[in-house]
Structure 1
Amino acid sequence: MKLAEHKNLKTAITELPVKEKDKLLLRLIAKDKVLTEHLHYKLLEDESDLESRKEQIKSDIESQISELKKLSVKEALVKVRKMITGVNHFYKVTKDTFGEVELKVYILNKIPVDYKRSIFGYKDFGFLFATFYIKTVTITLNKFKKLHEDLQFDLSENINQLLAKIYSSKLAGAAEAADLPKEV
């Protein structure tokens, strides 16, 4: 049930006494962890907290990079997906598109693209890793293009490093197939 479909309900909610609205709002917020975290960020945090959130994610990534090089491609894919999911959660909480693009480019630049071969299923998981990696780059580039040109300028060097890394690796064919540019 969407609120927009029930105009009478919307009117009734706005006419509720403030104390009752507050009680309902608090009950509703408690049911959604991301909404609770978003409200905490919006109401109780400031710009320095945003930077510390980004630094915490970067720190977590740095601690996992050396471990990634020792993993099979299947295990690495699982770890990289978790890293990207962490950035997606960061965006849901902060609504900071620049930070999201910055962090994804950071991750994609840091993670290795060559992994040791496992006895079973390397080809399949290698393909899945390449597909996930290229798709994530494509999505990130699309968000990058929607940023203000000053913000794009700030990120363009890192994105060009990422694209150079891709085109100098075994992912070059997949990047060309996905029409990734060689630079921005």
Structure 2
Amino acid sequence: MSLHKQPELKEAVLNLPQKEKDKLLVRLVGKDKMLMKQLHFQLLEDQLDLEDRIEQLKERLADLYTDNRHTIKNIPVYSNYKELQSLIRQASGMINEHEKITKDKYSEVDCRIYILNKAFGQFPRLFEKSAVHSASKLHDYVRARIKTTTTKFEKLHEDLQFDLQESMEEMTAFAMEHSLS
């Protein structure tokens, strides 16, 4: 239930003595892991910490693809389509969490382009036309990821777009060549 739907409760909370509000706030923050991460970032970290977070995220994404290089083969069969879609979903989740915590749009777009280009580079045969149902599910999912990434890219400042232009063009070219855009 939302606090906004109960204006009396909201008013009562706002009228509490400061010491009681502080206790409640600390208790509530402790119950929400994402809120704790967001507050930690906002209150205790600076630009250097953001750069470290971005570097760590990129390493984790690279490790994810490296660790799965033996599980997923570049052979168009059912299991490989499913595994690659699962891998991209997992990578997207890591990026989503990073963005929710840091609110850094540039690194979000950079990492989204990275995971798509990595998938395209490592598993190009899985993006060829196929009658296998799991292939079409993977292709639909990747189309949605491309659309989201392109939209977020276009919202970036033109200087930031310039920095990502080459990798964005690489992603777009592969997508067009394989009818994914």
User: Which residue matches 2:151?
Assistant: 142
User: Which residue matches 2:53?
Assistant: 53
User: Which residue matches 1:103?
Assistant: 111
Aligned counterparts of 2:116 and 2:124: Cα–Cα separation in 1: 13
1:114 paired with 2:124, answer: yes
1:133 paired with 2:121, answer: no
1:93 paired with 2:107, answer: no
- Larger mean Cα displacement after TM superposition, 155-164 or 56-65: 56-65
User: Which residue matches 2:22?
Assistant: 22
Aligned counterparts of 2:64 and 2:15: Cα–Cα separation in 1: 52
CA change 1:67–1:17 in 2 (3 A) is same
User: Which residue matches 2:75?
Assistant: none
1:153 paired with 2:162, answer: yes
Q: CA RMSD in A?
A: 2.0
SS in 2 for 1:30: helix
Question: Which residue type is aligned with residue 83 of structure 1?
Answer: A
Cα deviation digits, residues 18-62 of structure 1 (max 9, x gap): 211111111111121111111011111111111111111211222
User: Which residue matches 1:78?
Assistant: 86
Offset of 1:156 from its aligned partner? 2.0
Aligned counterparts of 2:165 and 2:31: Cα–Cα separation in 1: 40
Question: Which residue type is aligned with residue 46 of structure 2?
Answer: D
CA contact (8 A) 2:64 2:91 kept: no
User: Which residue matches 1:7?
Assistant: 7
Offset of 1:69 from its aligned partner? 4.5
CA contact (8 A) 1:105 1:158 kept: yes
CA contact (8 A) 2:106 2:160 kept: yes
**TM-score with structure 2 setting the length:** 0.83
Aligned counterparts of 2:135 and 2:51: Cα–Cα separation in 1: 34
Aligned counterparts of 2:131 and 2:119: Cα–Cα separation in 1: 18
User: Which residue matches 2:174?
Assistant: 165
Aligned counterparts of 1:149 and 1:10: Cα–Cα separation in 2: 42
CA contact (8 A) 1:73 1:115 kept: no
Offset of 1:67 from its aligned partner? 4.6
Offset of 1:103 from its aligned partner? 1.0
Unmatched 5+ stretches in structure 1: 176-184
Offset of 1:130 from its aligned partner? 0.8
Question: Which residue type is aligned with residue 163 of structure 2?
Answer: D
Aligned counterparts of 1:60 and 1:134: Cα–Cα separation in 2: 23
